[in-house]
Copies of this chain bind each other. A is one copy, B any other.
Amino acid sequence: MSWLDTSIMTQRGVAKGAVRATHYLTEAKQGTYHYTMGPYSAPVLHVQPGDRIVVETRDAFEGKITSEQDRLADKLNVPFLNPQNGPIMVEGAEKGDTIAVYIESMVPRGANPRGTCCMIPNFGALTGTDYTATLNDPLPEKIRKIDLDEHGVYWSKRVTLPYKPHIGTLSCSPEIDSINSLTPDNHGGNMDLPDMGPDSITYLPVRSPGGRVFIGDAHACQGDGEVCGVAVEYATTTTIRVDLIKAWTIAWPRLENAEVIMAIGSARPLEDATRIAYKELVLWMAAEYGYDKWDAYMMLSQCGRVRLGNFVDPKYTVGAAITKKYLALAP
């Protein structure tokens, strides 16, 4: 028996764990990719809870950076960055519900060197930026093209990093805003959370009819915080399964895998993102796992685990998690 059988998705989802039709959201089917996530774009797909969707994601630079000699200014056209597939409409989803996205697999697409990393002037954690505005000269521009496959990310002649893929950007639509795909917030978005990979479930708050799921920005691997601002960006064939949990109203995205449940916050400054994540986790433990609120708070002070997603995007992302085995024993 898989952990999935006892997951929140399976236990509370409309599909009750059943896997139904498979849809293919190819590049051709997608047509125009999106650079904002909102209620104003035309749906590309309508699915049922339990359906599987095979998505051809493009890399964050839309495949335009093909050589280490490219000049970024020639290739990138701000704000048209981080192209998203979607919106995918989930039958029956209404404001106040939650959509579950289980990631089955992420397979690289395209010819090697498939991976791209770069240093973008005035972007990243260790440089002045548009928001942390300084008068220093920008860091040099650098491009790194990287071979990768399902066995490894061949960073350099000597260093092979594990292939540990995840989805950088995943969301339902905000209710009225249309938010660029570089920014995470309480709808999800560009969270860059390494836990959001195969065999994980992300729970997203539904705020408009159909939920309007957007997905993109695959990373073949990423360090905590994505410190230079860019992971190993690549195009994938990503297979997800979606389900719908009716009347489960969550304020921020959440995540579940075999080991933990995690609440996710995105904000600046970084302590606010962390506060949100931990507060949501406390309230979750109190609402659904039988914990006294203060006991949950004090216990997380002893066993809570924090993942720094990004601290480079317009908002920073943090996940706060607790191991499921402690939850099972509570209170």
* A binding-site residues for B, Cβ under 8 Å: 35-36, 38, 40, 79-80, 117-119, 124-128, 130-140, 142, 144, 153, 155-156, 158-159, 161, 175-180, 186, 221-232, 251, 265, 267-272, 274-276, 278-280, 282, 293-295, 297-306, 308, 311, 316, 320, 326, 329-331
Q: Roughly how many angstroms separate A180 CA and B320 CA in the complex, as a whole number?
A: 28
> A159-B299, A225-B301, A230-B298 given. 8 additional CB < 8 A pairs?
A40-B178, A125-B275, A126-B279, A130-B186, A132-B275, A158-B330, A223-B301, A232-B302
Check A177–B142 contact: CB distance below 8 A. no
Nearest first, the 8 A-B pairs at minimum CB distance are A269-B269, A223-B304, A136-B136, A270-B270, A224-B306, A228-B301, A133-B279, A178-B178
Query: Quick one: which of A38, A225, A305 has the most chain B CB within 10 A?
Result: A225
Q: Which of B131, B135, B139, B299 contacts A127 (CB 8 A)?
A: B135
Given the known interface contacts A223-B300, A302-B155, A303-B161, the answer about A269 and B267 at a Cβ–Cβ threshold of 8 Å is no
Check A227–B308 contact: CB distance below 8 A. no
Identical subunits present: 4
- B-chain residues with CB within 8 Å of residue A299 when the two chains form the complex: 155, 159
- B-chain residues with CB within 8 Å of residue A140 when the two chains form the complex: 294
- B-chain residues with CB within 8 Å of residue A298 when the two chains form the complex: 117-119, 142, 144, 228, 230
Query: Quick one: which of A229, A271, A272 has the most chain B CB within 10 A?
Result: A271
Q: List 22 A-B contacts (CB under 8 A).
A: A79-B177, A117-B298, A117-B302, A126-B282, A131-B267, A132-B272, A133-B272, A134-B134, A134-B279, A137-B137, A144-B298, A153-B302, A161-B303, A176-B180, A177-B178, A223-B302, A223-B304, A224-B305, A227-B297, A269-B269, A270-B271, A271-B316
Measured CB to CB, the closest approach of chain B to A258, in angstroms, equals: 19
Check A136–B133 contact: CB distance below 8 A. no
- B-chain residues with CB within 8 Å of residue A134 when the two chains form the complex: 126-128, 134, 136, 275, 279
Measured CB to CB, the closest approach of chain B to A303, in angstroms, equals: 5
- B-chain residues with CB within 8 Å of residue A186 when the two chains form the complex: 130
